[in-house]
Each structure stands twice: as structure tokens, then as C-alpha cells.
Copies of this chain bind each other. A is one copy, B any other.
Amino acid sequence: MGDLHAGHAALMERARAECDTVVVSIFVNPIQFDRRDDYEAYAIDLEKDVDFCATLGVDFVFAPSAQEMYPEPPSTFVEVAGFSAHLCGKFRPGHFRGVTTVVAKLFNIIAPDKAYFGEKDAQQLAVVERMVADLNMPVEIIAVPTVREPDGLALSSRNKRLTPQERAIAPALYGALEIGADCIRQGCTSATQVRRAALAHLRRHPELRVEYLEVVDASSMTPVETIGGPVCIATAAWLGAVRLIDNVLIDNIGT
């Protein structure tokens, strides 16, 4: 969706290392926004983004207009059941349907052999992987680790909308996830206890209004109560007018 930063650069560098031809799509997809103000805040500087891609050795940028992508109001949707009940799917109605639909379109237009997605959007990654498997799409999905600021804040285009005061508080979100992850690494198998520890940390920053903080199965992204395999702790919180999301994966339980 443009407004490119070092998180996107990690995707491009990985693709550049693994592929003959690298295509970057830049498209602020109207049908995945549940709130109009959020969509309108995505005013991207395409020229700047294209320059950014060029410095990373990208071969093509695909940057269609909304009119080109949706010449008529879209009537066909790709939907993965079970992803609207939890996490972002619960709080952003229609969001993942918009994501899977536009990703299906982009795959059909570009026909990539591999497609690179960031782990920061963990539920998006899971829903795309499920779509690709269920619909036999001829593309390999590559997950790229989240890139963070030195203080732990996950990179996001939305970070620049934070005030300096909010920016100083924002790393607490990742801090809370790490506290939860430490609980699990130390042997805690109760999701309730993990959540309690993480949320206690967040309560020190009442400016962070938590939308959800859940311990979920790492592949299905559905909440678990007893932790017995790879899990993700995923959270979303509001800071002023900005919604931030983050997650950590804990996949080496008991090792």
C-alpha cells in the first residue's frame, strides 16, 4: 500500500536475492478499509516510493489506479471463512475479504512464482496462505520477519501519524508481547496467565487502548487456551487516532 519503509525493503531485498524478476505492487486497496478516514490518510507519494524501489533493484512497480483495479463496483469476492471471528477480522468487518480479493487479483495480473508478505500482519499472512492452499494458486508465499525500530516498535506506515509523546509510549506494545512470550518460554501453558502478564504491562500506559491481545494457534490464528504448539501472541491497540498492531511468534516451545 505504498508509503514504503525498511519493513517493505526487507521484502524487496529477500525477493531480489531469490528471484530473477522482482515486481512491487503499490495499491491502496479501497475495499479492505473498514473506515473511510483511515483510507483517506493513505495519501502516498508514488514518485518517492518508486525511487525507493529503484534503489533496491526492483524491476517493475505495478501501481494501478482504483479505477483500473475496479472498473465496475466489484461483485466477486474471495473469502476465507473463520478469519472474521478473531483478532483484526473481528474488529475490521470486511477487511480480510478485501485483502484476499485484491491479492487474488494481483496474483492473476502479475503471475508471480513467489510472493513476499511481512510477518507483522500475521493474520493477513495466514489468510493469504490459506487462500493459496484452498484455491490451488500457483504461487509460493514467503513470510518475512517483522522489522523493528531499535526500541522494539514494529515498522508501520502509521507510525508517522503518532505525536512525539505517543511515539515514546508505542514500544510498550512490543514490550507487552515480549513479556507474554517470556512466560511461554519459561514453561507457562495457560493462555490466560500469558495474557494477564502482558496486559498488566500495558496498564502502565493507559494511553494505549487495547483492542485485543490474544494467544492464538500460529497456523489457524484462532485463540487457544492451553499452549501446546507454535503460537502467536497478537495485539492491536489504539494510541490517539492511530491503530497499531504487532505480534510475536513462539514456535520452539519446550526446546
Chain A: residues with CB nearer than 8 A to chain B? 72, 74-82, 100-101, 104-105, 108-109, 111, 130-131, 134-138
Q: Is the pair A108, B82 in contact by a Cβ cutoff of 8 Å? A: no
Can you name the residue of chain B whose Cβ is closest to the Cβ of A77?
A: B79
Instruction: For residue A12, give the distance in angstroms from its CB to the closest CB of chain B.
Output: 23
In the bound assembly, the distance between CA atoms of A94 and B134 in angstroms comes to 17
Q: How many copies does the complex hold?
A: 2
Ordered by A's residue number, 22 sampled pairs between the chains whose C-beta atoms are within 8 Å are: A72-B134, A75-B81, A75-B82, A75-B130, A76-B78, A76-B79, A76-B80, A76-B81, A76-B100, A76-B130, A76-B135, A77-B78, A78-B78, A78-B104, A79-B79, A101-B135, A104-B135, A105-B135, A105-B136, A108-B136, A108-B138, A111-B138
Across-interface contacts of A101 in B (CB, < 8 A): 135
In the bound assembly, the distance between CA atoms of A104 and B108 in angstroms comes to 11
In the bound assembly, the distance between CA atoms of A81 and B94 in angstroms comes to 14
In the bound assembly, the distance between CA atoms of A111 and B77 in angstroms comes to 20
In the bound assembly, the distance between CA atoms of A135 and B134 in angstroms comes to 16
Instruction: For residue A216, give the distance in angstroms from its CB to the closest CB of chain B.
Output: 16
Instruction: For residue A164, give the distance in angstroms from its CB to the closest CB of chain B.
Output: 43
Across-interface contacts of A105 in B (CB, < 8 A): 134-136
Instruction: For residue A97, give the distance in angstroms from its CB to the closest CB of chain B.
Output: 10
In the bound assembly, the distance between CA atoms of A131 and B101 in angstroms comes to 11
Across-interface contacts of A75 in B (CB, < 8 A): 80-82, 130, 134
Instruction: For residue A16, give the distance in angstroms from its CB to the closest CB of chain B.
Output: 25
Q: Is the pair A76, B131 in contact by a Cβ cutoff of 8 Å? A: yes
